[in-house]
Amino acid sequence: MDSMLRDDHSSEPADTESHPVPVTATLSDLVNNLPGEHFTIEWLLGRLDRRSFGVVLIVMSLVAMVPGISLLIGPLLAVPAFEMILGRSGPSFPRRIALYPLRSSALTGIVRRALPLLAALEKIVHPRWPISPGISRRAAGLAILVLSGFFLAPLPLVQIVPALLVALIALAYLEQDGLLLCLSILGVIILLAVTTAAVWGAVLGWMHITG
């Protein structure tokens, strides 16, 4: 009996490790426990602990899909992206930004609209193609740093594709899905190539007209 009890207790950490808390559950817990009418990024980071990089990036990508906000999200995305490249364990923002009050109702609305899609993605995203945590963190950070520049373009709906890629990269990083991470980074490379070709074509066209 004693050995059986010891076996049961010894198996608990393994079960906890192999079944991480779903992202949808983490986001639901956040919006259900928001501190009143306003919250801060500092409060958000305090609730997330070791999953802070991935969840913060998902929240920021969802917010970036709102028209008119993407110009602000671009520079903010560069902060955690750069820290991931440096290999840090969690993001940190300048104190003025971390303590700035944000409307709880806005976050609640955005998250609740996104939960059905995230729940569907969770059914197909799972640990596979194992990649070293350090390499995956730096690769995800570099890809998101590249994507942060796309949010600065003052064009309608231009933020949708980069925001979706940020969300997929963050989800892949959280769920340790190496396949999804590689596919998402490939998407970043394709987006960068298409954008570069379009810009270069526009430059050549302008030079042809003016020359």
Q: What is the pLDDT along the chain (211 residues), one digit of tens a residue?
A: 444 434 444 333 333 344 567 888 888 888 888 888 888 888 888 877 656 778 888 888 888 877 667 777 878 888 889 888 988 877 888 888 888 888 888 888 888 888 888 888 888 888 888 888 888 889 999 999 999 888 877 666 678 889 899 999 999 988 889 999 999 999 999 998 988 887 787 777 777 787 6
* Residue 69 tokens, joined: 């906000």
Task: Specify the pLDDT at position 146.
Answer: 92
Helix/strand number for the chain, H first, E second: 10, 2
pTM, to two decimals: 0.80
The residue range of the domain holding 169 is 2-210
With CA atoms as reference, report the closest residue to 112 among 29, 26, 28, 55: 28
Task: With residue 38 as reference, give the H or E element that holds it.
Answer: strand 38-39
**Which amino acid does the sequence have at 31?**
V
CA distance 138 to 48: 20
**Which amino acid does the sequence have at 102?**
L
Task: Specify the pLDDT at position 187.
Answer: 94
Count of domains in the chain? 1
